[in-house]
């Protein structure tokens, strides 16, 4: 497998590990509270409001990893399938992942909404450039 392909796969793996890290952290926040009886199962069966703020922030951040990143995964697989991985794709992929990590870090710490939104928007812009580049590469492929 060429180096650029590996670097793209590593970017995808980094995004996956971000989601997995968040879900494990979420488990460490939620499960002990339920097992100690601090939170009744009936109170969390339908919504998350019974959980403390930290658990809700982690849950929201984890859920967010299945929004824009899904489009990133699909685009990455398309690029790999068509053999169109180049330095631009890899750079945009890693920039997207770094922005997602920053977004998640803000989400689960200070949760400054305007700052978080800025990183979300930057990630969206990078993802749009990623897809634009991918589309142009496919259309211009001979």
> How is the chain split into domains, by residue range?
3-140
Q: Which CATH class is domain 3-140?
A: mainly alpha
pLDDT in tens, 33-91: 999 999 999 888 888 899 999 999 999 999 999 999 999 999 999 999 999 999 999 99
Contact 130, 94 (CB under 8 A): no
Token reading at 25: 């952290």
Model confidence, pTM? 0.94
């Amino acid at each position: 497998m060429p180096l650029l392909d590996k670097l793209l796969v590593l970017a995808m793996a980094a995004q996956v590990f971000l989601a997995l890290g968040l879900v494990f952290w979420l488990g460490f926040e939620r499960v002990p509270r339920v097992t100690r009886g601090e939170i009744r199962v009936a109170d969390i069966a339908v919504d998350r409001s019974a959980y403390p703020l930290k658990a809700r922030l982690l849950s929201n951040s984890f859920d967010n990893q299945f929004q824009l990143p899904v489009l990133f995964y699909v685009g990455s697989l398309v690029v790999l399938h068509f053999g169109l991985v180049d330095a631009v794709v890899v750079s945009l992929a890693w920039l997207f992942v770094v922005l997602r990590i920053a977004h998640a870090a803000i989400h689960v710490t200070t949760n400054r909404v305007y700052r978080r939104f800025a990183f979300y928007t930057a990630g969206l812009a990078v993802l749009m450039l990623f897809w634009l580049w991918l589309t142009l590469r496919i259309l211009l492929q001979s």
